[in-house]
Structures are given as C-alpha cells and as structure tokens.
C-alpha cells in the first residue's frame, strides 16, 4: 500500500493524499533527468539515435560472432528491413550474419549461423585486414543494393585478398527472402595489390547503365557498365584517392562513401565517413546530395556531421570513437541509417526524410522528435 501524507486545503481542512513510494519518486526523477538530457541532445542533432541502441550486439554463445557485430548492410524488402552485418568471433575471421526487423528499430529475427564467408586463395591471414581492423581476414563491411526492381540482390564488400580489395556478389531476391543463401560466385572488381574500400552500387541504372561509385575525394568517381558481368575477374575498376586534407572543414580527411545512394525527390542522398584533423581518431558521418542525371555533381553538402561518436556504445568497444554507416533505407517517410558503433555494435539513427532534405538544402539545424518504439 502506498504511504499517505496529511495536507491542508484552502479552508484549513485536513485531508489524506496518497504519495508514491520513495523508490517510485527516485525512478520518476531519474526519468525526468534522462528526458531532459535526451531533449538537449536532440536539439543539437540532425538525426536522432535510437533509444533501443545497440540493436545488434555480440552473441557469446555463437563463436563466430562472439567478439564483434557491426557495419551492417540494409535493404527494405516486403516492408521489412533486412540486415547483413559484419561479425568477428574467436578465430578472428570476419564473416556476415543476418537479421531482420519489421519496424526498423528492433530486431525480431537473427540467425545463429553466418550467411556469407569470403574464401581467400591466399590463405586466411591478411596483414592489411589486421592493420585496419585487428582481424585476421575474411569479408568486411557489406553494402546491399537492388537495381531497378530486378530479382537480384547485389552486395559489395571489402575482401581480404591480396590486400584490401572490393568484392561483388549476388543472390536472387527469392532465395534471400526465404533464407536460402545460395550466393553466386564472388568477383573481385578492384585490382590486386591495391587497397580499396567503400565502393557502392546505385539502386537505379543511370542512362541505361549500372553505376558503381568508387571514390568521393577530391571528386565523385563513377564507372558505368552495360552488364556487371563485364567485371569478370580480369577487368577491374581503376580508382584513385586523394589523401590531402582540407584543414578548415570538419571533413578535412574524407574516408569514403557509406551506404549505397538513396533515391529522393531532390537527388541521390549519399552519406560518407570523414575525420576532422582537429579531432583525430574519431570517425564522423556527413551527407551530400548528388544530381540525378549526373551524380558526379554535388548539389548540396552539409557543413557539419550528422552523426558523431558521443554515446557509450560508440566508444566502449573494440575501437573507440567510431560511427560507420553502411546501410540506409526509407520506410514510411522515415530515413533510417544503420551504422557500426565502436566496431562492436549495430545501431540506428533516424529522421523524417522531408525534414532531413530541407535541412540539407538549407543547412539549418531542425529539431527532430525522438522515435519511441512501444513494446507489445
């Protein structure tokens, strides 16, 4: 029974009023403080980080994903968000796992086994992979794309094969949805003995051709193909990357593209990773809008990052200070961005798409309402 206290009304009469237990008062006070901190943080954010973060964490019961689960590719199919995420376990090999969400914020299904492994012809250990992510080899950082409603799902990824190279593999949509992971033979599309990462495939043909974006600094570089079978393991995309820094900008050192470009009413929405030379060691995420007809032309570019590593799950994992976006979808008018936190967790951030695009065009700071997921 709740305790009571005596109070006097305006006429001086004494009445009894039930009061909440001290534990209840403490809980409400804590909740108010958390809400206040959340509102303060939301006012300064361009997107809002999910209250359910992280949405995927390492599973100690599964050896292959016991250490790290991060950097997810994402695709919206049949109104559900499907994830292919990078996982590392006891043997130090990077593989891909699968999970699914109906609302985009909470995972309702997650398989207990890996769905994709890259078999290196040069042995398992890769010094390049170890240097970049403290892993011994395998496949890294998947991106998922469906082109023009084809019955094919394409995946680009980083392959630890004679360096860090870009791999391309595909699977039928039907097989993917029915969890028959019969991937077609992977192809390496970047040259051997070179380091390349963060290549993405456009979800729509441009002037009738498949388009692969493979560099964003200092210019947007895209190669076009009548058919992706042209990349047969003998023909490669030759890319270049400028390591010079723009000291006066937050993205003084641009690392590469994030998720595959998203089609919007204003152009191609592209997210990217960068480091501020004045804030070394911290990955941040920026946004730009590319022209529909000529996506090498940047229409708008935000003057500040949309995501920074300021939460515990973005700093307490294998690599502190990392937010790394590799998946994004638009669902029911909401922009959902999926990213790795501290090379350990899968996280989500969101915003209303129309408001985000307006913000990108005007470069102003909007206030987005926090998305609250009600548990049934």
Residue in this structure with the two tokens 């089609």, named with its chain if needed: 263
CA dihedral 358, 362, 365, 368 (to 10 degrees): 0
What pLDDT score was predicted for residue 119?
83
Residues linked to residue 331 through DSSP beta bridges, in sequence order: 334
pLDDT higher at 27 or 104: 104
111 in a structural domain: yes
- The region, left, alpha or beta by phi > 0 then psi within -120 to 50, assigned to residue 188 is beta
344 in a structural domain: yes
Residues linked to residue 109 through DSSP beta bridges, in sequence order: 100
Residue 8 in tokens? 């006097």
Q: Which of 36-45, 85-94, 222-231 has the lowest mean pLDDT?
A: 36-45
26 in a structural domain: no
Q: Which domain holds residue 350?
A: 50-362
pLDDT per position as a tens digit, 168-208: 999 999 999 999 999 999 999 999 999 999 999 999 999 99
33 in a structural domain: no
What pLDDT score was predicted for residue 135?
57
Calculate mean pLDDT across residues 267-279. Answer: 95
pLDDT higher at 245 or 140: 140
Distance CA 234, CA 328 (A): 31
258 in a structural domain: yes
What is residue 251's DSSP assignment? Answer: T
Query: Please, are residues 337 and 325 in contact by the beta-carbon 8 Å criterion?
Result: yes
Peptide bond into 304 cis (omega under 30): no
Could you tell me the pLDDT band of residue 363, with boundaries at 50, 70 and 90? confident
User: Other CB atoms closer than 10 Å to residue 79's CB: what's the count?
Assistant: 9
What pLDDT score was predicted for residue 364?
56
**Alpha-carbon distances of 95 from 133, 142, 213, 244, 370, rounded to whole Å:** 13, 10, 24, 32, 33
**Alpha-carbon distances of 184 from 98, 175, 176, 360, rounded to whole Å:** 17, 11, 12, 38
Query: Please, are residues 348 and 354 in contact by the beta-carbon 8 Å criterion?
Result: no
Residue in this structure with the two tokens 């501020």, named with its chain if needed: 276
Task: Please report, for the domain that includes residue 267, its CATH number.
Answer: 2.115.10.20
pLDDT per position as a tens digit, 120-160: 655 444 444 444 444 578 999 999 999 999 999 999 999 99
- pLDDT of 44 over the 90 cut: no
Average pLDDT, the chain: 85
- pLDDT of 41 over the 70 cut: no
Distance CA 134, CA 93 (A): 10
pTM of this prediction? 0.84
What is residue 124's DSSP assignment? Answer: S
- pLDDT of 36 over the 90 cut: no
What is the percent of the chain where pLDDT is above 90? 73
Residues linked to residue 348 through DSSP beta bridges, in sequence order: 338
351 in a structural domain: yes
Calculate mean pLDDT across residues 43-59. Answer: 88
What pLDDT score was predicted for residue 326?
98
What pLDDT score was predicted for residue 85?
98
- pLDDT of 314 over the 60 cut: yes
Could you tell me the pLDDT band of residue 370, with boundaries at 50, 70 and 90? very low
Q: How many domains does the chain have?
A: 1
- pLDDT of 289 over the 90 cut: yes
- pLDDT of 250 over the 70 cut: yes
293 in a structural domain: yes
The sheet carrying 345-352 orders its strands as 48-49, 345-352, 334-341, 323-331
CA dihedral 255, 258, 263, 267 (to 10 degrees): -20
């Amino acid at each position: 029974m709740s305790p009571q206290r005596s109070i006097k009304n305006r006429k001086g009469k004494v009445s009894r009023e039930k009061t909440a237990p001290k534990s209840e008062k403490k809980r409400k006070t804590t909740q108010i403080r958390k809400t206040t901190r959340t509102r303060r943080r939301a006012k300064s954010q361009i997107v809002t980080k999910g209250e359910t973060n992280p949405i995927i964490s390492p599973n100690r019961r599964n050896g292959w994903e016991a250490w790290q689960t991060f950097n997810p590719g994402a695709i919206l199919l049949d109104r559900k968000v499907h994830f292919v995420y990078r996982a590392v376990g006891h043997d130090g090999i990077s593989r891909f796992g699968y999970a699914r969400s109906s609302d985009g914020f909470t995972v309702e299904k997650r398989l207990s086994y890996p769905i994709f492994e890259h078999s290196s012809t040069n042995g398992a250990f890769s010094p390049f992979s170890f240097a970049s992510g403290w892993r011994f080899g395998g496949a890294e950082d998947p991106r998922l794309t469906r082109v023009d409603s084809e019955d094919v799902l394409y995946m680009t990824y980083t392959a630890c094969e004679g360096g860090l190279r870009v791999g391309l593999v595909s699977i039928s949509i039907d097989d993917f949805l029915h969890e028959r992971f019969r991937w077609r033979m992977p192809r390496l599309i970047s040259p051997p003995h070179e380091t390349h990462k963060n290549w993405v495939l456009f979800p729509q043909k441009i002037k009738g051709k498949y388009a692969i974006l493979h560099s964003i600094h200092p210019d947007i570089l895209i190669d076009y193909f009548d058919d992706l079978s042209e990349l047969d393991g003998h023909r490669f995309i030759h890319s270049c990357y400028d390591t010079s820094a723009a000291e006066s900008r937050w993205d003084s050192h641009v690392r590469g593209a994030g998720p595959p470009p998203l089609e919007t009413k204003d152009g191609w929405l592209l997210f990217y990773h960068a480091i501020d030379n004045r804030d070394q060691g911290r990955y941040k995420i920026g946004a730009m809008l590319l022209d529909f007809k000529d996506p090498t032309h940047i229409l708008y570019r935000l003057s500040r990052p949309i995501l920074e590593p300021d939460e515990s799950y973005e700093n307490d994992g294998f690599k502190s200070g990392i937010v790394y976006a590799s998946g994004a979808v638009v669902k029911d008018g909401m922009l959902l961005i999926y990213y790795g936190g501290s090379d350990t967790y899968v996280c989500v951030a969101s915003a209303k798409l129309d408001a985000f695009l307006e913000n990108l065009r005007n470069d102003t700071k909007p206030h987005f309402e926090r998305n609250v997921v009600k548990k049934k």
